[in-house]
């Protein structure tokens, strides 16, 4: 989802290698990837100024975002899987990079309010709210007041777990009853981060993927209907 080349829980069979595109093709054909994508940093490198300059040349222009919107209906969206509600946000909106603001924030508030009955609510966004490594100050934390307001919204609406990528490691911590998981390991082996020291209580830091364990760690029942 928000990580770098994350793989869903899908087996392509013995004929497909670990890095084979065959697995992704079969997963897509089976409908397993129909709603699992989040716009990331590398899909939004062109600034609004650059896009305006390109359009001014009179040539044709197709952006990744336009393809994404055509496929999913928008750069941010939500869906249900059984009793679970999943929200996917866009932290790379031109002019609003590094924040969840404007129409997206208003949409998010309405979406959360209308799904309070969900057994569990998950959020995925490329940039983490609370980075721990080389992207401190270069994620959603670059706008602290807006980041804190977003975190407050998650607490009040009973969000269970927030997944992000951006940093190439696995990190999990709980803040205000919300589990925050950074899972940008990109398929590397899990190992302790050098110089990380001992994790704080309720926190773990590793390099590499921890997909299933991260999700299972968020599967706890909490009262619904607003703030805990």
CATH number at residue 208: 3.60.21.10
Query: Could you give the CA distance from residue 97 to residue 125 in angstroms, rounded to a whole number?
Result: 12
Give me the sign of the Cα torsion angle 184, 189, 195, 201. positive
pLDDT for 203 beyond 80: no
Helix (H, G, I), strand (E, B) or coil at 124: strand
Q: 196 lies in which domain range?
A: 21-218
For 162-189, the pLDDT digits (tens) are 999 888 888 999 999 999 999 876 655 5
Query: Could you give the CA distance from residue 125 to residue 48 in angstroms, rounded to a whole number?
Result: 21
Average confidence (pLDDT) over 198-204: 49
User: Which pLDDT band holds residue 8 (cuts at 50, 70, 90)?
Assistant: very low
Query: Could you give the CA distance from residue 69 to residue 228 in angstroms, rounded to a whole number?
Result: 35
pLDDT for 19 beyond 50: no
Q: What is the pLDDT at residue 25?
A: 66
Residue 52 in any domain: the answer is: yes
Share of the chain above pLDDT 90, in %: 37
Residue 8 in any domain: the answer is: no
- Tell me the whole-structure pTM to 2 decimals: 0.68
Q: Which of 31-35, 61-65, 81-85, 138-142 has the lowest mean pLDDT?
A: 31-35
Total Cβ atoms within 10 A of residue 17: 10
Residue 228 in any domain: the answer is: no
Residue 165 in any domain: the answer is: yes
Asked if residue 89 lies in contact with residue 125, where contact means CB atoms within 8 angstroms, the answer is: yes
Residue 5 in any domain: the answer is: no
The total domain count for the chain is 1
Residue 12 in any domain: the answer is: no
Residue 2 in any domain: the answer is: no
Residue 58 in any domain: the answer is: yes
Helix axes 144-156, 102-113, angle to 10 degrees: 10
Average confidence (pLDDT) over 125-147: 92
């Amino acid at each position: 989802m928000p990580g770098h080349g994350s793989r869903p829980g899908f087996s392509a069979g013995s004929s497909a290698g670990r890095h084979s595109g065959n697995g992704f093709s079969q997963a897509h054909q089976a409908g397993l990837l129909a709603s699992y994508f989040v716009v990331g940093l590398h899909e939004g490198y062109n600034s609004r100024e650059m896009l305006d300059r390109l359009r001014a040349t009179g040539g044709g222009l197709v952006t990744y975002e336009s393809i994404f919107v055509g496929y999913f209906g928008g750069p941010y969206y939500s869906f249900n899987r059984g009793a679970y509600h999943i929200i996917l946000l866009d932290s790379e909106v031109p002019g609003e990079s590094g924040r969840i603001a404007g129409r997206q924030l208003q949409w998010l508030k309405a979406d959360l309010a209308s799904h309070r009955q969900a057994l569990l609510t998950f959020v995925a966004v490329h940039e983490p709210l609370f980075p721990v490594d080389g992207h401190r100050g270069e994620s959603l934390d670059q706008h602290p007041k807006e980041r804190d307001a977003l975190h407050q919204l998650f607490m009040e609406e009973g969000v269970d777990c927030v997944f992000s990528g951006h940093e190439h490691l696995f990190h999990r911590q709980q803040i205000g009853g919300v589990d925050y998981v950074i899972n940008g390991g990109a398929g590397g082996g899990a190992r302790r981060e050098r110089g990380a020291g001992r994790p704080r209580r309720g926190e773990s830091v590793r390099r590499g993927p921890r997909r299933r364990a991260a999700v299972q760690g968020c599967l706890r029942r909490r009262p619904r209907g607003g703030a805990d």
